[in-house]
């Protein structure tokens, strides 16, 4: 696991956008996309690079981490709609190459199994972008999630529904259920990039990076991954015990060693 601490949210977005662009420029890739506020700056930078003609996604696929259950397919807050609005409608990714779990299927467990099969059929995810919830969730794997989980139905905690109420008219409108990639599904990606911004994320980041690996902090599974990069602004790094070491390691990173 590599922890990269940079001064500002903008610097963090630049680092993460650089990792995505380097991958996509090297080969057709399968990108795992997260919704939420954390990756917005990254998506804006990538869109700018695309508009400047420096990166193309025409040969790529993209997959969603999670999706609400119970919203109408044309609801503006489905994660498919959000990711299209915030990112993929502004690049040359073919709409049919943006994949998500089928939350409108009659048989949701079967839809979850199909989604895991689809990810495998694409050859696996090359790079999975992740945010982290205030309660330590990744995707919508809330505390208590099995460390061996695959894509399945989860119930959101009250805290997560309250957090996400900002996108809805009221907290009551936030769905209670979601389909989310499980912790094993997420960990199957070849590279995990977790991005966290702001003081509110300092405690969950410290638990995920330096605490025990536990279902109580699902993001702590990143410690088991052979290629995990955690990109933080200074505020999100505020509770890390080894912050000076991470800064020193990144400052002295050899030029031949990519993130």
* Chosen residue from 43, 57, 115, 140 binding ligand F6R by CB under 6 A: 140
CA distance 231 to 220: 15
> Does position 202 bind ligand F6R by CB under 6 A?
no
> Does position 100 bind ligand F6R by CB under 6 A?
no
> Does position 139 bind ligand F6R by CB under 6 A?
yes
What is the nearest approach in angstroms of ligand F6R to the Cβ of residue 243?
Answer: 21
> Interacting stretch for ligand F6R, rule CB under 6 A, among 9-17, 130-138, 224-232, 237-245?
130-138
Listed residue (52, 69, 55) closest to 17, CA to CA: 55
- Is-catalytic flag, 50? no
> Does position 101 bind ligand F6R by CB under 6 A?
no
- Is-catalytic flag, 11? no
> Does position 168 bind ligand F6R by CB under 6 A?
no
Query: Cα–Cα distances in Å, from 30 out to 27, 46, 185, 200, 206?
Result: 10, 16, 14, 30, 29
Q: Which of residues 42-81 bind ligand F6R (CB under 6 A)?
A: 65-66
Contact indicator for 124, 130 with CB cutoff of 8 Å: no
Number of DSSP helices (H) and strands (E) in the chain, helices first: 8, 10
> Does position 138 bind ligand F6R by CB under 6 A?
yes
| Residue with smaller CB distance to ligand F6R, 28 or 132 | 132
Contact indicator for 122, 61 with CB cutoff of 8 Å: yes
- Look-up: residue for tokens 């009551």? 172
Catalytic residue of the set 86, 116, 126, 142: 142
| Cα-Cα end-to-end distance for the chain | 10
Contact indicator for 29, 60 with CB cutoff of 8 Å: yes
CA distance 217 to 136: 5
- Is-catalytic flag, 188? no
Residues with catalytic roles: 66, 135, 137, 142
Binding stretches for ligand F6R (CB under 6 A)? 34-38, 65-66, 131-133, 137-140
């Amino acid at each position: 696991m590599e922890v990269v601490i940079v001064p500002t949210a903008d610097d963090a977005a630049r680092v993460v956008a650089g990792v995505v662009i380097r991958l996509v420029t090297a080969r057709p890739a399968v990108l795992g996309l997260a919704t939420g506020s954390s990756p917005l700056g990254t998506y804006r930078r990538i869109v700018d690079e695309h508009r400047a003609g420096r990166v193309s996604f025409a040969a790529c696929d993209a997959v969603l981490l999670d999706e609400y259950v119970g919203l109408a397919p044309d609801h503006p807050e489905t994660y498919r709609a959000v990711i299209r609005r915030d990112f993929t409608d502004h690049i040359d990714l073919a709409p049919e190459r943006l994949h998500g779990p089928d939350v409108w299927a009659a048989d949701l467990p079967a839809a979850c199994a199909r989604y895991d099969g689809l990810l495998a059929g694409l050859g696996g995810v090359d790079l999975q972008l992740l945010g982290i919830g205030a309660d330590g969730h990744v995707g919508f794997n809330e505390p208590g999630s099995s460390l061996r989980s695959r894509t399945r139905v989860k119930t959101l905690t009250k805290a997560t529904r309250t957090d996400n109420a900002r996108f809805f008219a009221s907290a009551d409108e936030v769905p209670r259920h979601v389909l989310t990639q499980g912790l094993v599904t997420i960990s199957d990606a070849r590279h995990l990039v977790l991005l966290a911004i702001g003081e509110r994320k300092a405690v969950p980041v410290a638990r995920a990076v330096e605490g025990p690996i536990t279902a109580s902090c699902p993001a702590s599974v990143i410690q088991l991954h052979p290629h995990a990069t955690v990109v933080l602004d200074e505020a999100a790094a505020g509770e890390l015990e080894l912050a000076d070491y991470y800064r020193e390691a990144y400052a002295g990173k050899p030029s031949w060693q990519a993130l």
